[in-house]
Amino acid sequence: MNKISPRFDFLFNNLNKISYFLIDPTHFGAVNEKMAEFCSLNISEIEGKPISVILDDHKIPAVKKFNEEIFENGLRSTAEIEIEIGDEQKIIKVDTIPHHNLEGEVDFLLCLAEDITAELEKEKKFYKNKKRYRSIFKKAPLAFVVSNRETNIIDWNDKAEEIFGWKKEEVINKNFNIIVEEQSYSDITELIENVFEGEESYNINKNIAKDGSELFCEWNTALIKDRNNKILEIISIAQDITEKINIQKRVESQKEELRYSELRTQFFANISHELKTPLNLIFSSLQLLEYKLKNTLSDDTYQFDKYLSSIKNNGFRLLRLVNNLIDITKIDVNTFQLNRGNLDVIKLVESVADSTKDYLETKNRNFRFESEVSSQIMACDPFNIERVILNLISNAVKFTSEGDEILLTIEKKDKNIIISIRDTGIGIKKENQNIIFEQFRQVDQKFNKQREGSGIGLSLAKSIIEMHGGEITLDSIYGIYSRFNVCLPIETIDEKNVELESYYADSLLNKIELEFSDINNI
């Protein structure tokens, strides 16, 4: 078929595909302009010519065989043919349609072809890029976690397996929260919502590995969208920074140790003053006493009593300071021991109140003692409980003025005894309330120059109460009041321990003089 009828000529030549007829397995019939243009030839150079005009000799047998089969079986078929046009290799996809005559025989083939060279190159490039991406994704030094819009994991790489301990097949279709600490679920949800809205995706998060261990990861999250801006995937890239965080913590710990060392330096500078002041007073009093003894009549005892009292008081101050230093050091090295017994703690506190009442009246403080409980036997170290209460009363005197009230109360709450010392003094500022129980800390250094003290009394009191299984807390409004609450658990020890922890009390008056030695000059 060299020519086609005029009524089909227009349609044939205006098809948007390469079109040609084959009158036998190896010869062209009519060809359209697209075919001639593709082959860079004129129509006349192709029509009626053998297929060798465009095909290499080594390709002709395969094409001939393909065409012969269609002539024989009369079935439509498709094939891809590689041809060289000029210096370029082209690949065409040919749809071959047999035409049957009135006798049912195939008399020619209509071939519709497409140049798929560019498409195949694009697919090849895409495949290479995809392969390259998979290689990078799989072996990347960072963890890649790919999830869908519902944050269910759809892929992750080798590094993610290494960091989190889960194999890929174990996490597919599991929610991203499988590697998130439970209390951080809401934070992750908020982060993803922010990413959806185009906000910053960087964050540091505490994560959980398969074995339950905690680790810190630095995350960057990106969205993969289609051409319609619809979110297809969420890619989260993580770096394990646990060691970095631990190093930062160690640095912070070292800074804290340095800060603590500075506090100790300040403390010992303060202690030098605390030691020198009473010693100077002792020696000056002794010098004056010696002078008076030599130059005063023996019946002039007033001056002697005054100086002897000063020596005694400052001796107590030194003794108290040394005792506190020894005990705080013992606590630091875990060698401090309690001497507990099953005693009536109400009677113990009441005896302290009775013994201090007259002393506080000399300081013009309104002191009251109230107890909701008449008796309570419980395990305690009476010496150290007295010591804590006397320390708290001493502090109350230091930071109150004449006419202020100091109230000592006892109440029973659940399985605890609560001992409270409340005063109407200057109170403690809120920002200072969390440091007053720290070793060597004093709330206001300038103010405390007027009040003697080393800054270890409350720290020691806190340690003693905690060794009893209790706690000491502060409730204060600056300028109005301060209240220290000592909470002790109601419990007893068995008889064999009572014998081991037997206790012999010193003179309570001596203890009062010892604990109140810092405030005798107030």
Contact call for residues 147 and 233 (beta carbons, < 8 A): yes
Contact call for residues 71 and 105 (beta carbons, < 8 A): no
Residue 456 confidence (pLDDT): 59
Residue 213 CB neighbours (<10 A): 11
Domains 140-240 and 244-522 share a fold: no
Residue 162: Cβ-neighbour burial (10 angstroms; 0-12, 13-18, 19+): exposed
Out of 24-33, 45-54, 453-462, pick the least confident.
Answer: 453-462
Residue 507 CB neighbours (<10 A): 10
Residues of the chain with pLDDT > 70, as a percent, come to 75
Dihedrals φ, ψ of 197, to 5°? Answer: -90, 5
Residue 351 to residue 345: CA distance in whole angstroms: 10
| Mean pLDDT, residues 161-187 taken together | 86
Residue 316 confidence (pLDDT): 62
CATH code at 244-522 = 3.30.565.10
- Reduced to 3 DSSP states, what percent helix, strand and coil does the chain have, rounded to the nearest 5? 45, 25, 30
Cross-sheet strand order for the sheet of 27-31: 27-31, 18-24, 106-115, 88-100, 77-85
At residue 337, what is the residue type?
Q
| Mean pLDDT, residues 229-251 taken together | 86
Dihedrals φ, ψ of 32, to 5°? Answer: -95, 175
β-bridge mates for residue 216, sequence order = 206
Residue 254 confidence (pLDDT): 85
CB under 8 A, 24+ apart: contacts of 78-83: 80/116, 81/55, 83/54, 83/55, 83/56, 83/59
Residue 504 confidence (pLDDT): 45
State the sign of the Cα–Cα–Cα–Cα dihedral 379, 384, 390, 393.
negative
Residue 448 confidence (pLDDT): 44
| Residue with tokens 């103010």, as numbered in its chain | 447
Task: Work out the pLDDT band at 118, boundaries 50, 70, 90.
Answer: confident
Task: Work out the pLDDT band at 245, boundaries 50, 70, 90.
Answer: confident
Q: Closest Cα partner for 85 from 40, 52, 49? A: 40
CA-to-CA dists, residue 305 to 13, 260, 284, 476, 517, angstroms: 136, 43, 15, 40, 17
Burial 352-377 (b: 16+ CB within 10 A, else e): bbebbeebbeebebebebebeeeebe
Contact call for residues 368 and 489 (beta carbons, < 8 A): no
Token pair in block for residue 81: 């043919």
The model's pLDDT over 444-493, given as tens digits with 9 standing for 90+, comes to: 444 444 444 444 578 888 988 999 999 999 999 998 999 999 999 999 98
**What pTM, to 2 d.p., does this model score?**
0.44
CB under 8 A, 24+ apart: contacts of 442-447: 442/270
Host H or E run for residue 268: helix 242-295
At residue 52, what is the residue type?
S
What's the N-to-C CA distance of the chain in angstroms? 130
Task: Work out the pLDDT band at 522, boundaries 50, 70, 90.
Answer: low
CA dihedral 33→36→37→38, nearest 10 degrees, is 120
Residue 320 confidence (pLDDT): 61
The CATH T-level fold of domain 6-121 is Beta-Lactamase (3.30.450)
Give the best-scoring range by mean pLDDT among 56-65, 179-188, 332-341: 56-65
Q: Strand 366-371 relative to strand 203-208: parallel, antiparallel, unpaired?
A: unpaired
CATH class of domain segment(s) 140-240: alpha beta
Say whether pLDDT at 259 is over 70. Answer: yes
Residue 433 to residue 419: CA distance in whole angstroms: 19
Residue 499 confidence (pLDDT): 45
At residue 188, what is the residue type?
I
Token pair in block for residue 399: 């930071």
The angle that helices 302-332 and 242-295 make with each other, rounded to 10 degrees, is: 160
Residue 110 to residue 309: CA distance in whole angstroms: 131
| Mean pLDDT, residues 130-136 taken together | 67
Q: Strand 366-371 relative to strand 405-413: parallel, antiparallel, unpaired?
A: parallel
Contact call for residues 261 and 272 (beta carbons, < 8 A): no
Residue 239 to residue 245: CA distance in whole angstroms: 12
In the chain, domain spans: 6-121, 140-240, 244-522
Coil, strand, or helix at residue 292? helix
Residue 482 confidence (pLDDT): 93
